[in-house]
Amino acid sequence: MKIFLDTANIEQIKHSCELGIVDGVTTNPTLVAKEKGKFKDLSGLIGTICDIVKGPVSVEAISENADDIISEAEKFAEISKYVVIKVPMTRDGLKAVKILSRNKIKTNMTLIFSANQALLAAKAGANYASPFIGRLDDISHEGMQIIVDIREIFSNYAFNTEVIVASIRHPLHVLEAAKIGADIATIPFDVLDKMLKHPLTDIGIEKFKADFEKVKGEYKI
């Protein structure tokens, strides 16, 4: 399963990419707004992220009608070959994705909350479909179940659209996504940091250090 980092923070992206486990980045208007003042324009921010990641970087179109979404997408796509356009799941969004797909501009259909919506995204030619499982959990739906359904549907018809498990709240979401066979999980920085840690790892390191202190004078490194 590929790991995308869900952030627009340059330091978080640099730190995570140094670990060698990050395959891409997803942003949205909320995440971009948090970085206000650090770059003079959005193009500079996105370009910098692309230079660091050298993998898919999702940038969200904010227009609502198809023509304007396409216009935005064409401008974003000029920033880098790594840019992927996030398009909301709407009628106009589907229209835009179909045209952008024909024009070889990569798309990530976002704000998906049902397997039916994911099916339509794949039919329209989206490169990625992003079901928001955490937000479904928030309203007492079993968010991960739609990942199961989407994987089955995409497998039935050999769709090339990749499933990005989005709106991840905690490490268990990542584990469940991997067990189901999701193509990608897009993970907030704090959740990724939690995945790295385990108390038994820390205890083990301290024990090894303590044991080595007893004999270090007898060994040369």
For every residue of 162-208, DSSP letters joined together read EEEEBS--SHHHHHHHHHHT-SEEEE-HHHHHHHH--HHHHHHHHHH
Kindly list the distances between the CA atom of residue 16 and the CA atoms of 22, 23, 136, in Å, as whole numbers in the listed order: 7, 10, 27
**Is 2-218 assigned to CATH 3.20.20.70?**
yes
| Residue-level pLDDT at 211 | 86
- Per the annotation, the verdict on 86 as an active-site residue is yes
Region 23-43: mean pLDDT is 92
Q: What is the pLDDT of residues 111-166, one digit of tens each?
A: 999 999 999 999 999 999 999 999 999 999 999 999 999 999 999 999 999 999 99
DSSP 8-state class, residue 132: B
Residues 6+ apart with CB under 8 A from 64: 90, 92
Average pLDDT, the chain: 95
| Residue-level pLDDT at 37 | 82
Q: How far apart are CA 45 and CA 40, in angstroms?
A: 8
Among the listed residues 14, 86, 106, 214, the single catalytic one is 86
Q: How far apart are CA 27 and CA 57, in angstroms?
A: 7
Question: Can you list the positions of beta strands (E) in the chain?
Answer: 2-6, 24-26, 57-60, 83-88, 107-112, 128-131, 162-165, 184-187
Q: What is the pLDDT of residues 94-113, one digit of tens each?
A: 999 999 999 999 999 999 99
Q: What is the pLDDT of residues 72-92, one digit of tens each?
A: 999 999 999 999 999 999 999
Rg of the chain over CA atoms, in angstroms?
20
For residue 57, pLDDT over 90 is answered with yes
DSSP 8-state class, residue 57: E
Region 182-208: mean pLDDT is 96
pLDDT grade for 220, boundaries at 50, 70 and 90: low
Dihedral, CA of residue 168, residue 169, residue 174 and residue 175, to nearest 10: -150
Q: For the whole model, what pTM was predicted?
A: 0.93
